[in-house]
């Protein structure tokens, strides 16, 4: 598997799947979640509402992942995952690692070969970027998958530098 680090906006990425740093409600929020729903359009929210009405009545638990259409985005699917809030969760490192692993498992189920990730939990959820980057890179490297390219798409210079340093 090829792992690359780029600076940019994940909503511009041409990839089979892009990963969303969602919250348990699956109904949108700020940060990368807000950007994905804004640019992807209402089809994504409608798919999320259907998930809430079926398999995820209580919401998506932290560390799990689920896919929807990518709507108008230049990707086929959005894989939604919920990272841990840094200040609140006990098993937070395990939960954050689980987000990357589960997103790759869902990508395998979909047959996605290129997957773009943001720095999960490292914005509103308050994770220090150096640790977030370490867990992201270590977990993706250590996860057996059929995905051929994982692209970390970092929004800020700081995030980009921390991910580059981990690589």
Which residues are catalytically annotated? Answer: 33
d(CA 68, CA 54): 13
Q: Select 21 or 79, whichever has its Cβ closest to ligand AR6.
A: 21
Among 22-30, 59-67, 107-115, 139-147, the segment contacting ligand AR6 (CB under 6 A): 22-30
Residue with tokens 């977030």: 132
Q: Give the up-direction half-sphere exposure of residue 113: CA atoms within 13 A in the CB hemisphere.
A: 1
Per CB under 6 A, 159 contacts ligand AR6: yes
Q: Select 114 or 121, whichever has its Cβ closest to ligand AR6.
A: 121
Let me know how long the chain is: 167
Among 18-26, 40-48, 71-79, 141-149, the segment contacting ligand AR6 (CB under 6 A): 18-26
Provide the mask over 67-106, with x wherever binding to ligand AR6 is found by CB under 6 A and - wherever it is not. Answer: ----------------x-----------------------
Q: Is 41 left (phi over 0), alpha (psi -120 to 50) or beta?
A: left
> Which helix (H) or strand (E) segment is 106 a member of?
helix 92-110
Neighbouring-strand partners of residue 79: 19, 67
Per CB under 6 A, 41 contacts ligand AR6: no
Binding residues among 114-143 for ligand AR6 as defined by CB under 6 A: 118-125
């Amino acid at each position: 598997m090829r792992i690359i680090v780029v600076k940019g906006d994940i909503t511009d990425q041409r990839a089979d799947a892009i990963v969303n740093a969602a919250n348990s409600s699956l109904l949108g929020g700020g940060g990368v979640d807000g950007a994905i729903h804004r640019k992807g359009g209402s089809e994504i929210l409608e798919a999320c509402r259907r998930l809430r009405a079926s398999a995820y009545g209580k919401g998506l638990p932290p560390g799990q992942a689920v896919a929807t259409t990518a709507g108008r985005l230049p990707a086929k699917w959005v894989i939604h995952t919920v990272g841990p809030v840094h200040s609140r969760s006990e098993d937070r490192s395990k939960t954050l690692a689980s987000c990357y692993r589960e997103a790759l498992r869902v990508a395998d189920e979909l047959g996605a070969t290129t997957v773009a990730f943001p720095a999960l939990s490292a914005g509103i959820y308050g994770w220090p970027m150096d640790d977030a980057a370490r867990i992201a890179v270590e977990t993706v490297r250590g996860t057996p998958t059929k995905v051929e390219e994982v692209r970390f798409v970092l929004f800020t210079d700081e995030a980009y530098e921390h991910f580059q340093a981990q690589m």
